[in-house]
Amino acid sequence: MRHRCITIVVFSLLGFGVQIHAATGRVLKVLPHFLDLQGRHTLTPSLYDRDAYQARLRQHPEQRSGVRLDVQWKTRGVAWSPLTLRVELRGALEANVPREK
């Protein structure tokens, strides 16, 4: 009887150690920023100045060179395996034809 109890305890402890779950993540927030011709999204570290500069770049598209996306994401558990980031871009050409990449 004692041998049977020890065997059950050992196998149950081994069973608990084998369970490994993959880390799951979710996106909390995405902040798009226009970049100027020098690659900057702001001129000073101030958030007020950043918002004012972004409004200026929105009004003057000829001063833009690209878009920067700041992504805040969170995961449960530890992600030991390599992560894959998938980004979907949508835009329009001059002829109003949608384009996906």
Over range 34-44, report the average pLDDT: 94
- Which position has the higher pLDDT, 14 or 95? 95
Identify the band that residue 60 occupies on the pLDDT scale cut at 50, 70 and 90.
very high
In this prediction, what percent of the chain has a pLDDT beyond 70?
A: 65
Model pTM score:
0.59
Exposure string for 46-78, b = 16+ CB within 10 A, e = fewer: eeeebeebbeebeeeeeeeeeeeeeeeeeeeee
Amino acid 20: pLDDT? 54
- Which position has the higher pLDDT, 64 or 26? 64
Over range 18-40, report the average pLDDT: 80
